[in-house]
Structures are given as structure tokens and as C-alpha cells.
Structure 1
């Protein structure tokens, strides 16, 4: 049975996603054996393209974490991207995609756990793209530890000035506390886009252009009190730029509280 990624409870934090252990390779191996074909979580590249092209040059060395059997990397190559390393915890997914795209030299595949990417040296990539992988770990066992391990590795692998682009269901209340730890050296901007197929109310005048404008975050790492989500099940795009330590003195940090663990 295929799970619809547009359903609001799919990848909420721990209280809403304990049915499966989404951080477990065995779960994903079984799923990819059962479900043939390609499947893109959350958003397709066509919707994400304005953000990707704005922040990630086509000449970048890109790391796609938790690639699964999605078309995103293939679509990026069609759009001019030259070097994309795809990793996934599932050997089934990696074998499947390696064979499918063996004639596309811009795409490389490797089985790897995002919590330990020590195969790659520091500063290996210009950008890291994550479409639902952090969310998967947040639904697994020892979620906060797994998230810390993964984000620490992402920061280590990014070159100074590099971009970590996270596409997630997690709003700032449950994501900024993880993303804005000083050790990662990230300056973060937030964008919000509706889920695929969302139909705006007739009185709503927003457009795709409005989605391309960053959303201000309060000093507490939250959305402004008067901010209203057009789609209550929107996707959040966090664009995290790796800074030098000297550039981080004025960036806020957000205390970790029990309700986001």
C-alpha cells in the first residue's frame, strides 16, 4: 500500500509517527521491494526548482541525502546540474537507482547512513538537499540523537558558503531548535509552500511569487504571531548557509524543550 505524502500526519514529530520506524533500513528495503517505480516525497522538482536554482549553482557538487527512488536528481540533471551524489540507507533503493541511471554520468549512488557519512572528507560538497530524510529520523527511535548525528555530518561535509536545503513538514517550533545550534555554523532562511494539489480559497490572492519570499522568524525561532498558513499542511523549506565562525556572533540560538524531542 502506497502512503500519500500529502497527508498531514505522515511525518509529524514523534507523537504522530510511531507506527513505523522510518529510520530503519529494513523498513525501507521492504518498502522498495514492494513498491516499484519512482516516487517523490512532498514536492516534485518543478515546484522546488526556483529555490534550488536560486541557491545552488548548476556547477555545484550536490549531495542528495535519502534519495530513495525519487526523480528529483534526474530532473536536476535535465536542468543542467553536473554532479550529484545520491545516498540512501536502503541497499534496495541504491541498487535499483544505480541500474536505472547507469548511463547518466552526472549521477552517482552509494548506500550510506546519513548519521555516519565518514566516507566523505570534510568540506566535500557545495550543497546538501534533504527532502524528508530528517523527518524520517525524527520518526525513528532515539530521534533527537539521530537528528544531531545527521545534522552534524551535513555541516561537516558542507564547504564554507555551502547550502543545506531541508524540505520538511516540521514548522520552526520543531525544527529551528535543531538547525540553529552554533556548532553547525548555519544562517537560516525559511520559505513555505503549499502541498501539491492544494486549492486556494477563492478570496485568496497569493501567487507563486509570494512563496518565493522568505518568512521572518521571531527571536524565539517561531513564526510571527499573526502569520497564517494558507495551507495548514504546508511544506517548510529551510535554506541553511554555512558561515564562518566569525560571522555567527549575532545569530540567535533556540533552547531545546521537551515538546520538540
Structure 2
């Protein structure tokens, strides 16, 4: 069955995902857990309390559970997804599933050691025409999500973001002192490389990232520059058409 929507904007439509999850068994954006497990093991402990954003029907949660991560909270805004995945993994004590919006997390402050997302923010940005000038609506969405993520992290906790977006563009979103975290970047993949950003709560931005934030605040009206995507990886359509 072809799950590609007629228009990329539907990737932001919960009705599209509800319908898709009724029949699709599993799909892993940006590769399976084994592809980046070696990186996660450096930053995520087996006893850490973990929140996974936009879990979808990915095998990542169950693969992590099998690998020894047994305190995993999964959220997605698709009720069909949460119902299906909760039933599928009912034999995994310590793993829970909740219907929730990333912009309004219903958890107390400092709840989690780790917040993890894989291509969830990429999907939110699907309609952006250029990474140089994100629309006010999307910028507001991302800011609300990042603010909530920071709020829910414990001191010293890590926000791990797995994405195809290179640091030149993605750090423009993450490098903000108000989120109260530092940023480190890693890559994985053969041929085409994906990016893993690790933000540590309570650490200051590096001088380079602080300078980036300052420059962006001072120069928000710079004219956009056309960037041609070179992505040829067999991902879904929107991952081939934007470079965020």
C-alpha cells in the first residue's frame, strides 16, 4: 500500500496519520535503532527515564526496550498510533503510550533524564520552502516544542534529536540560551549521513553557538540564499524535497 500523501502538507495532518496507522505496521524514519545505537549508548543510560516524541509505529521503542532501556514513555498525537502500539507492547512493563501534543506536554517539570525525537521535528517543518527563513507559524510551533522539552528535562538531562538536517540550519533553531542547554553534534550512516544532536540541560552554549544566536538575533532580515538539496536517500517524499 502506498502511504505517500497527495500533498506534503498532509504530513502535518493528524487525520492522515490516523488513517495511515490503521494499516501500516511499522516504518522507521532515518534508519533503525541499530544504526545509531552506538551513539545513544554514550548519552543514554539503561536506568534513565526516557520520553520519545512522535513515536509513530517505529520499532525504535521496542528495540531500545530489548536493548535494556526499560523506562520509556512514548507520545504521539495520533490516537490510532497510541492505541495500536500500546496493545502491541502490552507485555513491556515500564513502557507507556500517551496521546499528546509536543507543544503541550502534560508532565511535571524535570520529569525525564532523556527526551528523544527522530524525524518528528523534520515532519513539522515539511512545508517550509527554504531553511533560511522559517515561517512564523512553524518557528512558533518549534519554539513551543523546544520550550516544553527543556522544561521536562531534569538538570543534566539530554535532549537527543535525530534528523537529516545539517548543523548549519538546525543549530539556528537549537542554539538559544533560554533553553538552557549546550549542543553537541554527531553523525551516522554510510554514503548519506544523518545527524544526531545532543543538548545537555544546565550547560551553557559554546562560544560558537552563542555567537550564532547573537548573529541571528541581530540579522533576522538577511536575504535568503537558494540552497539545492543533494539528498538521494530512499526516504519518503518530503525528506527528499526539503533541506532543513
TM over 0.5: yes
Q: Which residue of 2 aligns with 1:162?
A: 157
User: In the TM superposition, what are the counterparts of 1:87-102 in structure 2 within 5 Å?
Assistant: 87-102=75-90
Q: Which residue of 2 aligns with 1:215?
A: none
Q: Which residue of 2 aligns with 1:127?
A: 114
Distance 2:33 2:159 in 1: 16
Q: What's the CA shift for 1:3?
A: 6.0
Counterpart check, 1:58 vs 2:17:
no
> Which 4+ stretches in 1 moved above 6 angstroms?
none
Q: Provide structure 2 residue ranges, at least 5 long, that are not aligned to the other structure.
A: 129-136, 225-242
CA contact 1:127–1:162 (8 Å) conserved in 2: yes
Q: Which residue of 2 aligns with 1:109?
A: 97
Distance 1:165 1:258, change over 3 A: farther
Q: Give secondary structure in 1 for the equivalent of 2:41.
A: helix
Q: Give secondary structure in 2 for the equivalent of 1:110.
A: strand
Distance 1:235 1:103 in 2: 32
Distance 1:128 1:40 in 2: 18
Q: What's the CA shift for 1:162?
A: 0.6
Q: Which residue of 1 aligns with 2:37?
A: 49
Q: Which residue of 2 aligns with 1:150?
A: 145
Q: Which residue of 1 aligns with 2:238?
A: none
CA contact 1:21–1:27 (8 Å) conserved in 2: yes
Counterpart check, 1:174 vs 2:169:
yes
TM-score by length of 1: 0.74
CA contact 2:103–2:148 (8 Å) conserved in 1: yes
Higher helix proportion? 2
Distance 1:162 1:173 in 2: 24
Higher relative contact order (CA closer than 8 Å, sequence separation 6+)? 1
Q: Provide structure 1 residue ranges, at least 5 long, that are not aligned to the other structure.
A: 5-17, 199-230
Distance 1:249 1:168 in 2: 21
Aligned residues: 210
Q: Which residue of 1 aligns with 2:11?
A: 22
Distance 2:11 2:161 in 1: 17
